[in-house]
Structures are given as C-alpha cells and as structure tokens.
Structure 1
Amino acid sequence: MDSNIVAGDRFSGMNEFVLSAQEGSFTAAGLRLGLTSSAVGKAVTRLEERLGTKLVHRTTRRLTLTNEGEAYLSSCLRVLNELEETESYLTTGRSEPVGRVRVELPATFGRRHVLPSLLELSTRHPRLDLSANFSERLADLIAEGIDVAVRIGVLKDDLDIAARRLGEQRLVICASRAYLKRNGIPKTKDNLLVHDCIGGLRRTQRAVWLLRNEQGVSEPVDVKVRHELGDGEAMLNTALAGCGLAQLPTWLVGEHLRSGALVQVLDEWTRGEMPIHVIWPRTKYIQPRVRVVIDELVRLSSEGDSGFKA
C-alpha cells in the first residue's frame, strides 16, 4: 500500500472534527473552513468509518462528543499543538513555546506558590496556554495526557516518568490555644490516639502522621482522625476554629504560628520533611512549551520565599 495514501488518510477529517467539536456544530465549523455544513458532516462521518467508532452525537441543536470522541479530540489537539510549535521553530529559528500545557498541581500549594508564577510566565509567552488542575490525587500523567505535575512526597519508581527535585516541605503539629485549653497539650506520640486530629482524605483505612522516632528517622505513626478535609486550606481553617490538632507544612501555618493563633506541639517529634518534585512523561525530546514550564518551576524553587524550602 502506498505510504503517502496512508498518511493522507490518517489526517483526513481531523480539522473538520476538531472545529466541529470546538464550535458545537457542523455549520459553525464549515463557516471557519469555508465549507458547507454537509461537507463537514460527511468528512466527520468518513473519519468515524475509518476509525470504526462513533465520535459525535448529532442532534438538531448541537453536537456532543462520545467518550471516544473526547479521547480522540484530546489526542488531535496535542498533535496540532506540537505541529504548530515545530512550525513556529522552523519559521522563526527559535524554540518559542506554543500551545497548551496541562499541569497537575497539589491543591493549596499549587494555588499559593505555583500558579502565580505560571500565569506570569504565560504573559511573557503570549502563545503559551495553560490547563491547570488542583488536586491531591496521584494522576496518571501518560494515561490522562498531563504534561507536567508537581508532587509532594516520595515518588514511586517509574521508568516512564522523569523527575527533578525542587525542594522539600517541613511538617509541624499545631492547634489553636482554645483547643489546647480544653483538651490539654499532648506530651507524647501516644497522646495522638486520644486527641482529636484533623487529617486529609485517606486513601487507606489507616490514619497516620509522619513523625520522627528515637533514632531521628521519620516513620508513620497512628493517630485518631476526627475530621477529614480535602485540602490544606480547609485543614488550616479547621485547626484555627479550635477543632483539633493538625499536621501541616510550615509554608501554610507559619504566619499563624508567629501571630499566636496556632501553637506548635510535640516539637521534638515533628521535624519530618517531604520532598517536592516536578515530574513529566519521559521522552527523548521535550517540547518547548513543556520545557519552559519545567524551567520556570526550577527557577521558582531557587527563590528563598517560594514555598519550596522547608
């Protein structure tokens, strides 16, 4: 079979499909392409026949994507972004970042310490677009098409993922003065099994905090969690409200410790540190749009008040 025909067939209907999905109708896509709505619809139909799957649900009012259509659209947009980026490099001679970068960030840390710098980066590069999600879940970068992620905690060994350490965060245990007045100040690690503790949403049944043992090595210690919250900001507010002890990073609670709104306890056990990394799918060639985001995170981590230092 002629390879040129195969290549041509591979991209046939892609523009029509992408614009139809973005515009929500064949008519609107046709106006942008200079085609009739019928021609656009036929191109998408031929694409579906070649792929052997339905990509769009057609109604009289609007097109909606099937699950397969959503997945195919995501792949098409990545391909088109990379083509645009490469063409920009070839025509200008510079690796100008062009296209959309999907970034996965820890919720509170990402909003406070990462997003402002990424937005400023996008103003310096007007053709760089961002899709940022804030979550504590461990997303599958490759399966979900994520370009860059920031992870707090020890990384698992994964040959498909590249990583660079940005810094670390130090955890402390603290509570409001009102809570400590009502319940007393914990003196030993065992006291955490009788105090009300504020924790994150658990992935396992066991509720643990990271504390140092007698040898100075960090290890998980069982605690009694009364309240579970989905992100650090909510945990902080719950501690400030006098609802229990919380183990939180110094970048989040520092101002409240300095003001006296929160009091640090069990200080001799709680100087555990957690590494912070930027990770991305391993590849021989990193697109400029991804490289510039990684470089910005590395630059940000070197600043003293960036939140990447314990």
Structure 2
Amino acid sequence: MGKENLNDLRAFVTVARERSFTRAAAQLGLSRSALSHAMAGLEARLGVRLFTRTTRSVSTTEAGARLLDAVAPRLDEIELELDSLSAMRDKPAGTVRITAHDHAIATILWPRLLPLLRQYPDIRIEFSVDYALTDIAAHRYDAGVRNGNSVDKDMIAVRIAPDLRMAVVASPGYLAGKPLPATPHDLTDHRCINLRLPTHGGLYVWEFEKHGQTVDVRVTGQTVFNNTLLMLQAALDGMGFAYMPLDLAQPLIEQGRLVPALQDWWPLFPGYHLYYANRRQLAPALRLVIDALRWREG
C-alpha cells in the first residue's frame, strides 16, 4: 500500500475501536459520509470486507480483526515517535559554542543564558574567552561577541548590550601622595596595567575622546594581562591605573575601592553584538540563545 493510505489505516483503527462510524468521524474531524467512503475504498483496494455493519453497531470481520491486530500497535508506535519529535522541537537540544570577551560573558551572556539553561536542560553552551577577532566559521563556533564596529560585514549581527563606556581607575593605595592625571598624556608618568591583544600581539593603546577630539596613549607599567577581570584585580591591588568598562568599575568606585580619573575623556564605544553566519535555518538551540541575548532597550 502507498504511504497516502496511512490516514485510511488510522481511520480504520478508529472505527474498529469505537465500533461506530459516527463516533469515529467526530474523533477524526470528518463527516460520517466521508469516513464511510474512505472505508469502502480501503475494502475495495484490499479485496476483503473489514466491517460487519448493522443499523445499531459496527464490528470487524475476521479479516478486519486480523488487520486491526497487525496495524494498530504499529500506528501507535509511529504516533508515539512523532510526539517525541515534537517534544524535541518544544525542548531544543544540542551544543552552542560562543567565543567572547570575559567581560561580555560575565556581565551579559552568563546572566541572560543561565535562565535558559535551567529551562532547557538538554541545551549545552560552551563559552570560550578570546580577545582575538576570531573567525567563527574556521574555528567551528556557532556565534561570537564583538563591539558593534568590528563585526564582519558578511555576518548577521544582533545587538546584545547598550553602548560601552570605558573608564580609567586606580586604587586609593596607589594614588596615595600622587596627583591625579589632568590629561591622558599624564598617564605616561604613572604605572599602568596593560592589555595584550592576541590579534596582533601588541599592547592595547588606550583611546580617549573629548568634544570630538581623540587621543591615543601608549602606557607602561609592571603588569600585562590578556584578561579584563585580572586587570581589575591588579588595579585593586595597587598596581596602577587600569582602563576598563565602566560598568565593571562603577560598583567599586561607589564603594571607594577605586578612584576614577579623566572622566571627561572616557570614550563611548558601540555596544556588544552577537554575530553568526548567515544561514537559511538556525538550530533551535542557537535561535533560543539569540533571542535570550537580544538587547531590548528599556
């Protein structure tokens, strides 16, 4: 029999179990005449009678009973498997690999994706801390996070955070007996905590902006890191000035554990964006991750 007859087999099983064309038709969402016509067609194709019909009841013939015993369990198994597939759709599974800065992971990705992980226990997320401009396709990542002005044009970018304000801070212990810098160039007279970027292997040049004027300063100090959270710890430990996201430093400024400097020069950068390859169909798990991270202003 052709695949197109599976609906007729399900209709046959329903009639046989209900022992009524009327009740079976209601259950299947068909008219009684349409169901009767379908069963007549099935009997004609098989060349046997399947039902004995009276004015008050419907019962299976010997051939009908044999078909019922053979087909009903298999149709039930098919429906069970289809239900399982629907459950997989409703409860997506799989691994989503994301490369991002430690700051983006700690302040945005982890807080927003933790509820998703709790809601969907079959979803797994792999975070990779990386300051390089990673080629996500070449390294088999599903998505990456960068500032909005550094996303490749052939990628789809979704904003996941507001614009990013950078700050310059140092501990009260380091500043004891020292004047605060009045201009960005005054930082060259201070110890500073450097960040090494893996993309070019060089030290990050601190960028400043005031009234449309931009200034870049190369700073020096005793310590170099490739991790923002470690730079923060070094600043707290009195190793000099650090250049870092304001949202990371602000609570410590309010607690008096860090002192801000050069506030008029703090630059504003485009906020973090999640980027991923342009695909016709996204995996359900990745789609949920994108939706959970999408920035919704207000």
3-state SS, counterpart of residue 110 of structure 2:
helix
- What is the match of residue 291 of structure 1? 287
Q: Aligned residue pairs: how many?
A: 214
Partners of 1:270 and 1:116 in 2: CA distance? 26
- What is the match of residue 157 of structure 2? 163
- The counterpart of 2:266, out of the listed 248, 260, 270, is 270
- The counterpart of 1:120, out of the listed 115, 118, 121, is 115
More deviation, 275-284/119-128: 119-128
- The answer for unaligned runs of 5 or more in structure 2 is 1-81
- What is the match of residue 302 of structure 1? 296
Q: How does 1:256-267 map to 2 (within 5 A)?
A: 256-267=252-263
Letter in 1 for 2:229: E
Alpha-carbon deviations, 1:179-228, whole Å to 9, x = none? Answer: 12243211112112221111212335454112004x42555333334421
- What is the match of residue 243 of structure 1? 239
Partners of 1:133 and 1:92 in 2: CA distance? 30
Structure 1 residues 175 and 156: alpha-carbon distance in aligned structure 2, compared to 1, 3 A threshold: same
3-state SS, counterpart of residue 149 of structure 2:
coil
Letter in 2 for 1:249: P
TM-score after normalising by structure 2: 0.64
Q: How does 1:1-310 map to 2 (within 5 A)?
A: 91=86, 94=89, 96-152=91-147, 154-159=149-154, 161-166=155-160, 167-202=162-197, 203-205=200-202, 207-213=204-210, 215-218=211-214, 220-298=216-294, 301-302=295-296
Is the 2:103–2:229 Cα contact (8 Å) retained in structure 1?
A: yes
Is the 1:89–1:96 Cα contact (8 Å) retained in structure 2?
A: no
3-state SS, counterpart of residue 293 of structure 1:
helix
Letter in 1 for 2:187: L
3-state SS, counterpart of residue 144 of structure 1:
coil
3-state SS, counterpart of residue 182 of structure 2:
coil
Partners of 1:89 and 1:171 in 2: CA distance? 49
Letter in 1 for 2:217: V
Is the 1:218–1:272 Cα contact (8 Å) retained in structure 2?
A: no
TM-score after normalising by structure 1: 0.62
Is the 1:210–1:272 Cα contact (8 Å) retained in structure 2?
A: no
Larger Rg: 2
